[in-house]
């Protein structure tokens, strides 16, 4: 059969990385796909910018819609990021009968339901492996390799930038802004790093993982999201003294008839596997009732790893060009008519141990007041330590690790302690995952 022509929208880190991989490994890739895959067109914002790939034989344009309407293009790669324009490109490509590969987790997490409906209507595929955990083939694993399982938990380090920042602060005592700037330079961070450090990017990825794990419609809004911007070097050091590391996790757990879906920083015992995943690396643990615990580890961001996933999707799409549209792997793992709605556990009803750092006046009776309030809410203390006051400080840090506690009870205790005159700063809390 003849070659498959690709139009790439966006030649930034991921787009140029993908073209580079297709150019470098073209022969191997075609041997796998069964057809030659060639990038014939690319849409960019600036025709003059330098690219990290050869542009030989690629026609450049600033008009992304012209690719979508080009009859010679068979598959559109949406690698531009962002939501509004990307949505228009993807929907228009589907309406023009073109399969789509995208790395855009924000798009899939927030508009995926509409996109998959349109794709099913048109008998087309929208592939999105690169949207979650960069080069780790976690979507294929859950969607296809674990089809025989009831998935219990999916949890992991889903944002390379957060993991990189936490690792650098922990290991080298670096300054937060300095580390973030390096992550941006290395091409790990999103265009708007707020998405990384405030947990939005990880929540987009968890939304996708939860849907394919549990057979539900995508529901980004249901996830409880916290980022790492309030995690300080002090908290990381205190946690380390207690035998824990601080990691930013995405957690999806089946609990009776509801799902526990949350993204936030966590303390993990330093001998746990996820506690030892450092730098920009991602790792995802999946528990299935048949397979037991599995772990997937790899680079979660960067040109090469993301391109690896985009090209794998492209090969899958090329293989499906000749297959029956009604018998393809469903977008969200379960047949569209079988998707269900799960209740999501309110964050107040979740039960975890927690690390608390209080900043309190150093005077008699303070610890008594604090522990009384905790005790009255049924919060049991597992470890407590007060740091010595520095000469110039008016208050001291008190670090408390609780036993398992219902979040709502702890919230009431925290609010009451913060309302006391002895409390001079908001309490920092980090949940602890056993
Ligand atoms: N900004 C993302 C991260 C890139 O840091 O993990 C990959 O999604």
Query: pLDDT per residue over 170-192, tens digit each?
Result: 998 888 888 888 888 887 887 78
> Which of 196, 203, 227 maximizes ligand 1 atoms within 8 Å of its Cβ, making it the mutation to test the pocket?
196
pLDDT at 388 (0 to 100): 76
Q: From atom 1 of ligand 1, which residue's Cα is the shortest distance away?
A: 189
DSSP string, 76-129: EEE-S--SHHHHHHHHHHHHTT-EEEE--HHHHHHHHHHHHHHHHHHT--EE-G
From-to residues of CATH 3.30.70.260 in the chain: 348-433
> In CATH, what class is 138-299?
alpha beta
Does the CB atom of residue 302 touch ligand 1 within 6 A? Answer: no
The reported pLDDT for the residue numbered 41 is 97
Q: Give the N- to C-terminal CA distance of the chain in Å, as an integer.
A: 54
H helix intervals, 11-53: 13-24, 26-33
Residue 261 burial by Cβ neighbours in a 10 Å radius (0-12, 13-18, 19+): buried
Q: The whole model's pTM is what?
A: 0.91
Name the residue of 138, 189, 227, 228 to mutate for ligand 1: max ligand atoms within 8 A of Cβ: 189
Domain(s) of CATH 3.40.50.720: residues in the chain: 4-135+303-338
CA 312, CA 115: separation in Å to the nearest integer? 20
Active site residues: 205
Q: Is 196 in the pocket of ligand 1 (CB under 6 A)?
A: yes
Q: Please, what CATH class does the domain formed by 4-135+303-338 belong to?
A: alpha beta
Class of domain 348-433: alpha beta
Give pLDDT, residue 391.
62
Report whether residue 300 contacts ligand 1, using a CB cutoff of 6 Å.
yes
Ligand 1 binding pocket includes 100 (Cβ within 6 Å): no
Query: The dihedral of CA 339, 345, 351, 352: what is its sign?
Result: positive
Cα 384–Cα 253–Cα 327 angle in degrees, nearest 5: 160
Does ligand 1 lie within 6 Å of residue 198's CB atom? no
Cβ 161 under 6 angstroms from ligand 1: yes
* Helical H segments across 173-302, by residue range: 176-185, 194-197, 200-214, 233-241
Tell me the CA–centroid distance for residue 102 and ligand 1, in Å. Answer: 14
Tens of pLDDT, residue by residue over 63-92, are 999 999 999 999 999 999 899 999 999 999
For 276-308, the pLDDT digits (tens) are 999 989 999 999 999 999 999 999 888 999 999
Ligand 1 atom closest to Cα of 159? 6
* Positions in the chain short of pLDDT 50: none
pLDDT given for residue 186 in this prediction: 81
Atom number, ligand 1, closest to the C-alpha of residue 189: 1
Pocket test for ligand 1, best of 301, 305, 307, 309 (most atoms within 8 A of CB): 301
| Coil vs helix vs strand at 242 | coil
* DSSP SS3 for 417: helix
- Positions of CATH 3.30.360.10 in the chain: 138-299
pLDDT of residue 381: 96
* Alpha-carbon gap, residue 168 to 164, rounded angstroms: 6
């Amino acid at each position: 059969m003849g070659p498959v022509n690709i139009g790439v929208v966006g030649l930034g880190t991921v787009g140029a990385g993908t073209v580079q991989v297709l150019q470098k490994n073209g022969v191997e890739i075609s041997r796998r796909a069964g057809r030659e895959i060639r990038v014939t067109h690319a849409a960019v914002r600036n025709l003059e910018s330098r690219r990290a790939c050869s542009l030989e034989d690629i026609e450049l344009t600033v008009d992304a819609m012209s690719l979508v309407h080009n009859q010679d293009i068979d598959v559109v790669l949406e690698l531009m990021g962002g939501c509004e324009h990307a949505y228009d490109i993807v929907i228009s490509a589907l309406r023009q009968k073109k399969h789509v590969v995208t790395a855009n987790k924000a798009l899939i997490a927030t508009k995926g339901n509409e996109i998959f409906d349109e794709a099913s209507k048109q008998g087309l595929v929208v592939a999105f492996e690169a949207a979650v955990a960069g080069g780790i083939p976690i979507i294929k694993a859950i969607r296809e390799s674990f089809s025989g399982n009831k998935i219990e938990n999916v949890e992991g380090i889903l944002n390379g930038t957060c993991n990189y920042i936490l690792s650098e602060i922990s290991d080298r005592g670096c300054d937060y802004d300095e580390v973030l700037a390096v992550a941006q330079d290395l091409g790990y961070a999103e265009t708007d790093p707020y998405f990384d450090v405030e947990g939005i990017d990880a929540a987009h990825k968890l939304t996708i993982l939860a849907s394919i794990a549990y057979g539900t419609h995508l529901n980004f809004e249901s996830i409880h999201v916290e980022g790492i911007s309030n995690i300080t070097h002090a908290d990381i050091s205190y946690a380390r003294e207690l035998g824990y590391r601080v990691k930013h996790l995405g957690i999806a757990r089946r609990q009776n008839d509801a799902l526990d879906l949350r993204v936030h920083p966590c303390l993990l015992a330093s001998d746990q596997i996820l506690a030892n995943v450092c730098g920009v690396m991602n790792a995802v643990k999946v528990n299935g009732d048949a397979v037991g615990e599995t772990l997937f580890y790899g680079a979660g961001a960067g040109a090469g790893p993301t391109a690896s996933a985009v090209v794998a999707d492209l090969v899958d799409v090329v293989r499906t060009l000749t297959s029956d549209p009604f018998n393809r792997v469903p977008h969200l793992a379960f047949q569209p008519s079988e998707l269900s709605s799960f209740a999501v556990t309110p964050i107040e009803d979740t039960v975890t141990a927690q690390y608390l750092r209080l900043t309190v006046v150093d005077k008699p009776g303070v610890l008594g007041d604090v522990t009384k309030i905790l005790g009255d809410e049924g919060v049991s203390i597992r470890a407590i330590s007060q740091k010595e006051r520095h000469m110039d400080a008016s208050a001291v840090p008190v670090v408390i690790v609780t036993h398992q506690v219902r979040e709502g009870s702890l919230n009431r205790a925290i609010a009451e302690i913060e309302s006391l005159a002895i409390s001079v700063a908001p309490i920092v809390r980090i949940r602890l995952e056993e």
